[in-house]
């Protein structure tokens, strides 16, 4: 046991030395180095605008079968840059980090502790091949580890390659998302958190929630890193 403790201590010392010798560069501002394994510097984190942890389900254009929607921050410049890097530059460790800090904000919420598991919004196989990874899965992994809730990546599959929701009205969004997902396991009487990066119209998560509720799920909570406070000019594309 002492040997294992000594090895752990040596690893910690080694990691500290590596951080000092090879300082990190912030993937958001890219303007300076800092001695931390985090992908975002503390200055950029401070600039992120935290939102009150409250139910935002009524702010969504489509909220069918979603009981609660929680978001950590406003989708401002710093988070927009971070999520763009995560989604398009394959810097997937940003996702784990964003999930971690979201989990730290949600940790004291009773509703979170009552979840049975988390489901990241799945990508269609075509989109997954193009991107190489699912950003929602990385966020869910960081979030799940922090709040100690298991992540189930195979519970739902995306079976329809949907188009962007940005230019669609409510009815078109609903039609776009019809039969987009398939459930693979029994979810009877389960409380489930659906995880994504940004909450905009709610159509993607609502489509998943409706399928889960029809299969017997008890409560569905949308959990996202951010949501735009000003929705009129938002051009962010939901998970497609």
176-201 pLDDT, tens digit per residue, is 555 668 888 899 999 999 999 999 88
| Six-digit token string for 233 | 């000019």
Q: What is the pLDDT of residues 133-174, one digit of tens each?
A: 788 999 999 999 999 999 999 999 887 555 454 554 555 555
Q: What is the pLDDT of residues 93-137, one digit of tens each?
A: 888 999 999 999 999 898 898 999 999 999 876 776 776 778 899
**CA dist., res. 228 & res. 2, Å (int):** 51
CA distances from 194 to 28, 199, 220 (A): 26, 11, 7
Neighbours of 68 (CB within 10 A): 17
Query: Is the model more confident about 5 or about 108?
Result: 108
**CA dist., res. 63 & res. 202, Å (int):** 6
Query: Is the model more confident about 31 or about 5?
Result: 31
| pLDDT for res 233 | 41
| pLDDT for res 158 | 82
- Going by C-alpha positions, the residue among 122, 127, 150 that lies closest to residue 137 is 122
pTM summary value? 0.80
| pLDDT for res 2 | 47
Which residue segments constitute the domains of the chain, with CATH numbers given? 14-47 (no CATH), 49-227 (3.40.50.2020)
**Three-state SS string across the chain, please?**
CHHHHHHHHHHHHHHHHHHHHCCEECCCCCCCEECCCCCCCHHHHHHCCECCCCCCHHHCCCCCCCCEEEEEEECCHHHHHHHHHHHHCCCCHHHHHHHHHHHHHHCCCHHHHCCCEEEECCCCHHHHHHHCCCHHHHHHHHHHHHHCCCECCCCEEECCCCCCCCCCCHHHHHHHHCCCEEECCCCCCCEEEEEEEECCCCHHHHHHHHHHHHCCCCEEEEEEEEECCCCCCCCCCCCC
């Amino acid at each position: 046991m002492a040997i294992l403790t000594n090895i752990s201590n040596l690893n910690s010392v080694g990691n500290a030395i590596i951080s000092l010798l090879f300082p990190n560069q912030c993937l958001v501002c890219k303007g300076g180095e800092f001695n931390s394994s985090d992908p975002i510097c503390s200055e950029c984190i401070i600039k992120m605008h935290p939102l009150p942890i409250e139910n935002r389900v009524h702010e969504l254009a489509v909220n069918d079968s979603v009981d609660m929607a929680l978001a950590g921050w406003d989708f401002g410049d710093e988070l927009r840059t971070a999520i763009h890097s995560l989604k398009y530059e394959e810097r997937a460790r940003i996702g784990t980090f964003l999930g971690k800090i979201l989990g730290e904000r949600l940790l004291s919420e009773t509703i979170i502790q009552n979840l049975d598991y988390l489901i990241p919004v799945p990508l269609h196989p075509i989109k997954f091949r193009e991107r190489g990874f699912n950003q929602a899965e990385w966020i869910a992994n960081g979030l799940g580890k922090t709040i100690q809730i298991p992540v189930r990546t195979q519970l739902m599959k995306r079976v329809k390659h949907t188009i962007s929701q940005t230019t669609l009205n409510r009815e078109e969004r609903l039609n776009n998302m019809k039969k987009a997902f398939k459930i693979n396991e029994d979810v009877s009487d389960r409380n489930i958190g659906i995880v994504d990066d940004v909450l905009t119209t709610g159509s993607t998560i609502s489509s998943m929630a409706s399928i889960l509720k029809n299969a017997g799920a008890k409560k569905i909570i949308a959990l996202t890193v951010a949501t735009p406070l000003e929705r009129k000019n938002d051009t962010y594309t939901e998970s497609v």
